[in-house]
Amino acid sequence: MPEPFVAYLRVYEPLSSFEPPLREEVEAAVERGTVDPFDAGQWEQQLWLRSQLAAPPRLLPGENAKGEVQGLGGVLVLEPEDVPTAPAATVGPGTLVCPLDVRGRAAAALVGFLGDAEIPLRTAALADSAETARSRAGAVVSELAGGAVHVLSSTWTVPLPWFVVVDPTERCVFTEPGRRRVCWRVAMADARRRVARAHSVAKQSIGEDGPTKILKETGRWLERFHPHSAVELDYGGLVQLMTPADLEADTSAEDVHAIVDAMESDDAEEVAARYEQLRDFWAEFAAREQHN
Q: Using one digit for the tens of pLDDT, what is the confidence trace for 267-281?
A: 999 999 999 999 989
Q: Which amino acid is at 101?
A: D
What is the model's pLDDT at position 127?
64
What is the model's pLDDT at position 182?
95
Q: Which residues of the chain have pLDDT under 50?
A: none
φ, ψ dihedrals at 168, nearest 5°: -55, -30
Sign of CA dihedral 263, 265, 269, 270: negative
C-beta separation of 97 from 77 below 8 A: yes
C-beta separation of 188 from 228 below 8 A: yes
The pTM of the whole model exceeds 0.85: yes
What is the model's pLDDT at position 213?
95
C-beta separation of 97 from 75 below 8 A: yes
C-beta separation of 98 from 188 below 8 A: no
What is the model's pLDDT at position 192?
96
What is the model's pLDDT at position 290?
60
Find residue 187's DSSP bridge partners. Answer: 230
Q: Could you tell me how many helices (H) and strands (E) the chain has, helices first? A: 10, 7
Note the pLDDT tens digit of each residue in 173-228. 998 888 899 999 999 999 999 999 999 999 999 999 999 999 999 999 999 999 99
Distance CA 277, CA 274 (A): 5
C-beta separation of 51 from 60 below 8 A: yes
Distance CA 191, CA 236 (A): 20
For residue 30, count CB atoms less than 10 angstroms from its CB and return exposed for 0-12, middle for 13-18, buried for 19 or more: middle
Among 45, 54, 96, CA closest to 75 = 96
**What residue spans of the chain are helical by DSSP H?**
22-32, 40-53, 102-116, 119-125, 130-143, 188-206, 211-222, 244-249, 252-264, 268-291
